[in-house]
Structure 1
Amino acid sequence: MDRSQSGPYLTRELHRYINACRFTYVKDLSAFCRLLGDDVRLRLIRLLGKEQLNVKELTAILGIAQSGVSRHLGLLRKSGLVEERREGGFAYYSLRPDGAGHARPMWEALEASLPMAEDPELKADDARLLEVLRMRKEDFQAHGSSAGQLVPGRSWAAWSRALGHLLPPLVVVDAGCGEGYLSLEAARWAEQVIAIDSSRDVLKRARQLARKRGVTNITWREGRIEELPLEDASVDVVLLSQALHHVPKPDLALCEAVRALKPGGTVLVLELRAHGQDWVRERLGDRWLGFRDESLEDWLFRAGLEDVRVEVGARLKGDPFTVLVASGHKAGGARRGRTGAAPSARGSVR
C-alpha cells in the first residue's frame, strides 16, 4: 500500500469499526431497555440482588403464577443478567456480577437506584423476602446445621409429631382451619379433631386432602370462629392458628373458644405481633395488622382463662413479622397434658 494512502485508509477503516460497534451497542441497549421495561422483572432483579432465591420462593414473594416467574427468569438468564445454581434439588437464581454486557453503565445506574426505592410494593417485597428467609432458617432439611452440612433425619415436622406422643388422647378443635394442614397434623395424636372454617370451598379441599392421606378422625364443619358450631364444655383444646387477624372481633372469638372448652381445657393461639405491613389487607384479606402482646394477654384473661402466657414463637432480625404463641387454661377440672407448672392468675408476656 502507498504510504501516502495509508492515513485515509486507516481513518475509513476506523470509522467503519466504530459505526459497527455503535450499531451493536444500540441493538444491545434497545434489547436491554425492553427487558427492563416490565415492573415484575424489575422487582425480580431487585430481589435477586439481595438474595439467591428459587422459583417457589419468588412466587411467594411476587404473588404471581409460578409459570410467570419461570418465564421472567428465562428472559433474564438469556440476557446474561441472572445465573442459575442447583442445590438440594432446587435451582437457585442470583444476579451475575458481570451481567449486562455493553449496557453495563446503564445497568449500574439502575442497580444503584433500586435499593433506594420507597415504593410500597417494593417495601412489601422486602417484608415477604424476610419471611422466606425466616422459613429457610427454620427448615432443617434444606439448610442443615450451622456448619452448612446436611444432617439426615433432622426435621421440625418429626419433632412436632414426637411431642404429640407426650399428650393424652384429646378432642381438639382447629378453629379457622383453612385447607386443613394443622388439622391433619393434630389428627396424628388427637382422639378426634373438629375442623371449622367459614368457607365451604376451602373445607371441600381439606376433606379431599384428608381422604387422600387416609385420615379418618377429623370432623369438618362449616362455621364462623365467633360463633362456633360446638356444644358448651365439649372439647379439650381449641387451636386458633393465624385466624384471629381475619375476624372483626377477635376477643369474641376467644370467648367462644372458652365457652366450648371443658373445665381444665386449653386455648392455644398462634398470631402475628402488631406490624405495619398494610399490603396484607388486600393480598391476604387480613382485618388486623397483628396484635400487641398485651392485647392478646388481656383478651385471654378477660375470656376467663388462667395461667395466661404470651411469648415469641418465631422471628428473624429485620423481619416485620413476629409470630406470637399465646395460651391459657379454663378453670376447674383436671388439666390434661403438661403438668408440674404452677398456674398463676395472670401469666406472663415474654
Structure 2
Amino acid sequence: MRRRDDSFLHPCVFAHRQLSVEADLAIASERRWELYKLLAEPIRLRLLALAAEEELAIGELAELLGESQPNVSRHLKPLRASKLLAVRKEGTRVFVRLQEDHRADPVVADALRAGAGLLEDEGVLGRIAAVVRAREAPARAFFAQAAGAPSAWPSELGAYLAALAPLVARRRLAVDVGTGDGALLEVIAPVFERVVAVDRAEAQLERCRERLARRAFDHVELLLAELGDAPLHDRVGELGGADAVFAARVLHHASRPSEALRGLASLAAPGGFVLVVDYRAHQDERLRDQQADAWLGFEPAELRDYATRAGLEDAHVTPIPAARCGEGPDGHLDWQVLAARRPADA
C-alpha cells in the first residue's frame, strides 16, 4: 500500500490545500497588522505595561497616568477585546492585568518594553507601590480609632478551651496577626503556651491590653508592628518560629493579599500551620465604608492559590455559614478558613 501523503494527492486537492494554507497565513498576517495598529497608541503601551506590573483597578490606572477614568476605560476597551488583558470585577470596581500567555508574543513583548520605558521616563513605575498601598489607607484610619469596649465571649470559654488544649499536638507558640482588640486571643491563649499578638494600630493594642489584664493572659506578648516589619520576624525567629499563625479577618484589608500570605507563612516554623479566617467572595459594597475593607472576600480557589505561591502545602478551605458568624456588620456573610502547612524541610 502506498503511503498517503501530499505527493500522491490529486492535483486539485493539493491546490485546494495550498490555497487554504495561504489563506490562513493571510489571516494571521492581518491579525498581526491589527495588533501593531492597536498598540500604536502611547497610552495603550503604558496601560499594557502597567497591567503587566500589577493587577490594577481602572481608577488606579487613571491616577497613575493622570488621565480621566472615562479616557482610560476607552483605551482599555480594545485591549480587552483583543484578549490581551484579563478582567476581574469586584463589586463596583474593575481590575485588569496582562494575560500571562501573551508575554511570549514578540509583538507584545516589544510593546511591554516600550511601555515600561515610557513609564520609567515619567516616573510612573516608582509610584505603583504607593498606589497599591493606598488601598489600605481607609483600613488604617478605621482601626486607628478605638470604638467601644472589647467584644465579649462567654466568661467561662477559657476554662473549656484549656481542657481541650492537650489534644493539640504542637502548641508551643502561636502568632495572632492583626489581633485588633484581642478577640481571637480568647480562643488561642488558653490553648497555646505562648502567644505573640501583633497589630499596626496602637488604639487596637490598648483595647487588647484591657482584655489581657481581665483574663490574666500574662503569657501573651503584644507587638506594635506591620506584618512585614523586621522586629516581628526577628522576635518570632528568636522564639523558634510559630506552630500556628492566625490571621482572622485580616486578608481583606491587605493591599496585596498574596504578599500578605507569604508574610504569614514566613512566621511559621517548619511543619507549622497558617490559618486564615476571611470572607467568601461577596458583593456588599457597604463594608468598604463600614469597616474599610479593601477586598470583597475571596474565592476558595484564590486562597489555595495564595497558599501555594507562599510555599505552603496541604492547603484546604473549610466554609463557615453565616449562621455561625455572629451579629456584627459582617455577620450576614459566609466566612471560610484556609489551613495550610509550611513544609517540614523548609
Give the structure, 1 or 2, with the largest relative contact order (CA under 8 Å, sep 6 or more).
Answer: 2
Larger Rg, first or second structure (1 or 2)? 1
Report the TM-score, using the length of structure 1 for normalisation. Answer: 0.48
Report the TM-score, using the length of structure 2 for normalisation. Answer: 0.48
